[in-house]
Structures are given as C-alpha cells and as structure tokens.
C-alpha cells in the first residue's frame, strides 16, 4: 500500500502518530460573507499558529475578510493562485506548526486543494478537512432542483485573446442529451476585481453554441440564475435566456443552471421559488 494511502487510513481512524509535529487544516468559509464559516472551523482558526486564506476560487463580499480578522483578533495571510498552486509556503509551515487554510465554499471542491492535501500526506503532515457550505449543494437547493439529476459541472472563463473555448457549451449539451441539469460556474478574477455576471455568462454560452454549430442552446432555452447564494438578498430566477438577459441581477457572485428534463416537482419549484412561467418550458431545448 502506498504511503499516502496508509496515511489517510490512519487519519480516518483519528490516529495522530504521523511522524510530523505539524498539522494542516483545510476549512471552508461557506458562502457570501464571514458568517458562513462553521463554529468548528472558527474554533480551529482561533487556536491555529498560522492562518492562510485564499479567495480566488470563491470570493466573499467586500469587507468579509477584514470582519473575520476582527472576530479572530489577528490577520490572515492571503495567498494568490500562484502561491496556493505552488504550495510550498503552506506545506513548510505545516511541518512544524498548526496551520489552518481557509477557502471560500467547501475546501475540497477545488482540484488544487486536493492536490495540496495529497502532497501534505506524502510529506507525513497530518491533515484535517472541515467542510463548508458550497454552491454545489446550495444552488440546486435554492432552485428546488434534485441534486442527483445534475451532470458534470461547467466552468465558464472570461474570453482571452487567442483563447475562447466552446467546451463549456459542449458539456451542457452532453448533460442535456442525458436529461441532466448543468451547474455553470462563472469566472472569478478576485485580484483584478472582475466577477462574471449571469448576463455575460448567458451571452457567452449562446455565442459558444453558435460557433460550435451544435444548436443546443438558443434564446428560448430555459436557464436559471442564482445571485449571492448564502446572503440575505439572494436572488433566484428562471426563464428563457432572452428574458434573463434583460434582467439586472445585482452584485456578484452569480452562477447559472441549464436544466435538463424536469420532474413535475422541479417544475413547480421553479415556478414558486424562481418566478418561472411554465409556458416557456414548452420551447426549451426543442
């Protein structure tokens, strides 16, 4: 058995003899603001020797980090994408100290964090995961869509010169062909202060469909928008792409869902919770 497999077995059984005096705790901040963190994660942060945090995978509202620092009575060391992907700063600190790494949403929904945990295991650093509320579960719940009917998640990046893929639209098409819903995560550039809006995301998906020639999506396609999940002013809407493009969904963060085949209860939920006019469904994905 590989060393990292033996390590995870010991960790799961709460055995602490890892050969390392340090410890690395991956803790989710939850959604939207500093109040989304669990009491368990907060307790870990209070007793940590070092606290790192990143907000490039999922950003919190402006001022949330500062308010969390005030609550903890200490500063968080914010890391950018390059520092997290490199991982050396986090791993070196965790070799001899109790380190907490705070991330938006749930810490294990990003591949980079899974890789970092594997690397910690390979270096015999004990790891602990404290889960947080994630859009992966919050968005289906807010819309009233059944979690098990979602296919692969699509990520929609900002277009760049020489880089404008159509793969997100193709993934949506694959899910639709199987009757599955698609959660579409919209790009976040926290360092640059750019957050893709639902309107931009819909425009991009329709443009990708036109360029790919697939004919999967059109202005009559049913789509859903969830804005500021986890906040007191969360906004949930469902309608045709054309109708949604005319709406202003307010401040970030936004995400999209392209529904597949709907159960009658899901149809009713979209009517009640997201203001959907059921008549529009007859034209969707036809």
Mean pLDDT in residue range 107-125: 93
pLDDT at residue 83 greater than cutoff 50: yes
Residues 38 and 125 in one domain: yes
- 139 and 279, same domain (yes or no): yes
Q: In this structure, what CATH number is given to the domain that contains residue 15?
A: 3.40.1010.10
Structure-model confidence comparison of residues 170 and 62, the more confident one: 170
| Mean pLDDT of all residues belonging to the chain | 88
Environment class of residue 113 by beta-carbon count within 10 Å: exposed (0-12), middle (13-18) or buried (19+)? buried
**Spatial separation of the C-alpha atoms in residues 286 and 217, rounded to whole Å:** 9
Task: From 130, 152, 183, give the residue that closes a domain.
Answer: 130
Looking at residue 62, what is its pLDDT?
A: 80
Q: Do the beta carbons of residue 226 and residue 234 sit within 8 Å? A: yes
Chain-centroid distance, C-alpha 195: 13
pLDDT surpassing 50 at residue 57: yes
User: What is the pLDDT at residue 279?
Assistant: 65
CA distance 238 to 118: 40
pLDDT on residue 193: 79
Structure-token pair, residue 26: 């991956």
| Domain end marker among 130, 152, 169 | 130
Report DSSP letters for 174-239, one per residue: HHHHTT-BEEEEEPEETTTTEE--HHHHHHHHHHHHHHHT-----TTSEEEEEESTTSTT-EEEEE
Residue 283 has a pLDDT of: 40
Candidate from 19-23, 94-98, 203-207 with smallest mean pLDDT = 19-23
**Range of weakest confidence among 1-5, 9-13, 154-158:** 9-13
DSSP 187-201: PEETTTTEE--HHHH
Range 68-74 average pLDDT: 94
| CA distance from start to end of the chain | 51
Q: What is the mean pLDDT of residues 240-262?
A: 96
Domains held by the chain: number: 2
- Higher pLDDT pick, 152 / 215: 152
Same domain, residue pair 14 and 153: no
54 lies in the same domain as 87 = yes
Whether 117 and 147 map to the same domain: the answer is: no
Answer for the pair 168, 205: CB distance below 8 angstroms, yes or no. Answer: yes
Which of 106, 130, 154 is a domain's end point?
130
**pLDDT for 17 beyond 70:** no
Q: Which of 209, 214, 211, 212 is nearest to 223 (CA)?
A: 209
For residues 112 and 152, membership in a common domain is answered with no
Task: Give me the domain span that covers residue 48.
Answer: 3-130
Query: Model confidence over 121-178: pLDDT tens digits?
Result: 999 999 999 999 999 999 999 999 999 999 999 999 998 887 778 899 999 999 999 9
Shared domain for 165 and 91, answered yes or no, is: no
pLDDT at 2: 53
Per-residue pLDDT band for 58 (boundaries 50, 70, 90) equals confident
CA distance 251 to 197: 8
Q: Kindly state the percentage of the chain with pLDDT values over 90.
A: 72
Q: What is the pLDDT of residue 286?
A: 36
pLDDT for res 14:
37
pLDDT at 10 (0 to 100): 43
The larger pLDDT score, comparing residue 90 to residue 284, is at: 90
Residues 268 and 180 both lie in one domain: yes
Q: State how far the Cα of 37 lies from the Cα of 48, in Å rounded to an integer.
A: 15
Among residues of the chain, what percentage have pLDDT more than 70?
Answer: 90
More confident residue, 212 or 205: 205
**102 and 141 share a domain?**
no
DSSP state of 160: B
pLDDT above 70 for 5:
no
């Amino acid at each position: 058995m590989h060393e990292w497999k033996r390590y995870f077995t010991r960790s799961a059984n709460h055995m602490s003899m890892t050969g390392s005096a340090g410890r690395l705790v991956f803790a989710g901040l939850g959604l939207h603001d500093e109040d989304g963190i669990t009491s368990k994660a907060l307790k870990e942060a209070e007793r940590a020797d070092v606290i790192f945090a990143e907000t490039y995978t999922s950003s919190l509202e402006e001022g949330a980090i500062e308010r969390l620092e005030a609550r903890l009575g200490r500063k968080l060391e914010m890391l950018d994408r390059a520092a997290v992907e490199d991982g050396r700063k986090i791993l070196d600190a965790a070799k001899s100290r109790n380190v907490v790494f705070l991330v938006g949403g749930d810490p294990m929904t990003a591949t980079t964090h899974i890789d970092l945990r594997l690397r910690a295991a390979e270096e015999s650093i004990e790891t602990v995961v404290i889960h947080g509320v994630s859009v992966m579960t919050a968005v289906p719940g807010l819309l009233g869509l059944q979690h098990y009917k979602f296919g692969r998640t699509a990520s929609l990046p900002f277009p760049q010169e020489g880089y404008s893929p159509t793969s997100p639209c193709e993934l949506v098409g694959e899910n639709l062909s199987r009757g599955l819903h698609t959660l579409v995560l919209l790009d976040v550039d926290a360092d640059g202060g750019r957050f893709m809006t639902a309107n931009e995301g819909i425009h991009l998906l329709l443009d990708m469909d036109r360029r790919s020639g697939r004919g999967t999506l059109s202005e009559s396609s049913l789509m859903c928008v969830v804005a500021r999940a986890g906040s007191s002013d969360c906004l949930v809407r469902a309608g045709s792409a054309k109708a949604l493009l005319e709406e202003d969904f307010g401040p970030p963060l936004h995400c999209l869902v392209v529904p597949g085949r709907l159960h009658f209860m899901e149809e009713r939920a979209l009517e009640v919770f997201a203001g959907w006019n059921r008549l529009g469904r007859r034209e969707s994905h036809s």
